[in-house]
Structure 1
Amino acid sequence: MAVELLTRHPERLARVVAHEPVLVSLLPDAAEQHTFFSQVVSTFHRAGVDAAMAEMGAGCGEERGEEPDLSGLSPRMLATLSRVRGNSAFFLGRILGQFSAHAPDLAQLDASAGKLVPAAGWASYRLRLYRPAAWLAERYGVALAEFPGGHVGVVTHPREFALELGELLR
């Protein structure tokens, strides 16, 4: 996670665009957020990848009707997406629980906050993964950078997402 890298090694980074970071531990209802992600992990162990991913998508506010148009993607990118899908069991079983429970060292993050750009997708407004980015923007008194699409805007709107990211990194 780039935010954690920023807290530990800020000298190695010029800027971090934190797009909908799963830093739910920062939220006032952190216990509820942790329960949600724990339930997703339990669903994975009980009912498998598809059930857990559906539960996570619904709980994070993803609209199921907006399937990304993959027709313009290169064979290399399609292969990458296939590998990501193939890694879902590992992610759900071994990473999601710890990842979603992470709380950054705020004193360390405060010291490097000038390098942090909190960001969210416009379609995620007020949803579960939008909220930590908004919390960070409020804490540091900066505007929340807005990207096209939702949490996976990089897949649903790749060109527009890349253009916005390029602008923020300049």
Structure 2
Amino acid sequence: MTWQTVRKAPALLISLRAMTLQSQAGPSGRTPRHRTAPGGILTADSTDIVTAHTLEVPGARLHYEVRGQGPLIVLVGAPMDASAFAPLADVLAADHSVLTTDPRGINRSKLDDPDQESTPLLRADDLSRLLAHLDAGPAAVLGSSGGAVSALALTQSHPDQVHTVIAHEPPLAELLADRQELHAQTDDIIATYLTGDLIGAWTMFMIQANITLPTGAIEAMFGGVRDPQHVADEHRWFAHELRATTHWQPDLTALRSAGTRIVVGIGDDSAEQQCDRTSQALAQALGIEPTSFPGGHTGFVENPDAFATRLRDVLRQN
């Protein structure tokens, strides 16, 4: 079993196997080398430098990274961390300042209370505090999967900080007619994981997501000796993040009136998957057409160059 055989797995799998997606950043303790230019646009000394920083926020210490120079774009996941977006961020850094971060409780973003629930509103507040700290908004924000939910929550609560939000495949089950059945399935998935049957939980998750993997893929990824940080991030996602993210109900009236341009992105290879359904439902509810992006749920990892080209095209249409 190779990484290529499982590359179309959902975003969390990529986050949990972040060792294959390490950014070109140096150690997290390196000295920050960023500055704020006139007009609040964040710039760096060079497009190939990645600087790592920590911001204290209520209940957490957020790890974030900055690279590139130019208009600010934020790349955010949940539970994906900054490393998962590194390939795309490196490409975009040629003409953008790029902000990536580990969501609260994931990897390097530590919590005061490890059992605190990770809600979209909390994650949106973290993003707002990061933007205020950098004095770099309004920004374009690309959120993928649970990060798309965080980005939409940010748009609702702080529309002045976001000029464009690209919600790439948000898992908004609450928008679907069969939401009660899906919520019950999610509860079963979480309960199965918490009993210690992670293979069973992941198998159930893939069935719900309508994602087909090769035989033995889940066992290959999650069997045997595992990195303790990957295990911790996985547990946090199942125990404290998955339910709140998929149950989140967007305020459609607030989103329509926010003044923020909203783009709903769907991967070309995601047809009939669960996040295709939820994304289509969101676009319909907002009265907009969905926008196609290369690849599937993790197209920004599968082909960051093609994804960046499409993303730049979308931003130019603003």
TM range (shorter): 0.7 to 0.9
236, 244, 249: which one aligns with 1:103: 249
Q: CA deviation at 1:156?
A: 2.5
Percent identity, please: 27
Counterparts of 1:112-127 in structure 2, within 5 Å, are: 112=258, 115-127=261-273
Larger radius of gyration: 2
**CA gap 1:100/1:15 in 2 versus in 1, 3 angstroms:** same
Q: Which residue of 1 aligns with 2:275?
A: 129
Q: Which residue of 1 aligns with 2:198?
A: 49
Q: CA deviation at 1:110?
A: 2.0
- Cα contact 2:151–2:165 (8 A) shared by 1: yes
- Cα contact 1:49–1:92 (8 A) shared by 2: no
Whichever structure has more helix as a proportion of its residues is 1
CA distance in 1, matches of 2:280, 2:308: 21
Higher relative contact order (CA 8 A, sep 6+): 1
Whichever structure has more strand as a proportion of its residues is 2
- Cα contact 1:61–1:124 (8 A) shared by 2: no
CA distance in 2, matches of 1:100, 1:19: 14
Does structure 1 residue 159 correspond to structure 2 residue 305? yes
- Root-mean-square deviation (Å): 2.5
One-letter amino acid of the structure 2 residue matched with residue 36 of structure 1: Q
Q: Which residue of 2 aligns with 1:71?
A: none
Q: CA deviation at 1:45?
A: 0.8
Which consecutive residues of structure 2, in runs of 5 or more, have no partner in the other structure? 1-149, 218-227
CA distance in 2, matches of 1:116, 1:96: 23
CA distance in 1, matches of 2:186, 2:232: 20
**CA gap 1:158/1:48 in 2 versus in 1, 3 angstroms:** farther
CA distance in 2, matches of 1:155, 1:86: 22
Which consecutive residues of structure 1, in runs of 5 or more, have no partner in the other structure? 68-81
162, 185, 195: which one aligns with 1:13: 162
Q: What secondary structure sits across from 2:166 in the alignment?
A: strand
Count of matched residue pairs: 157
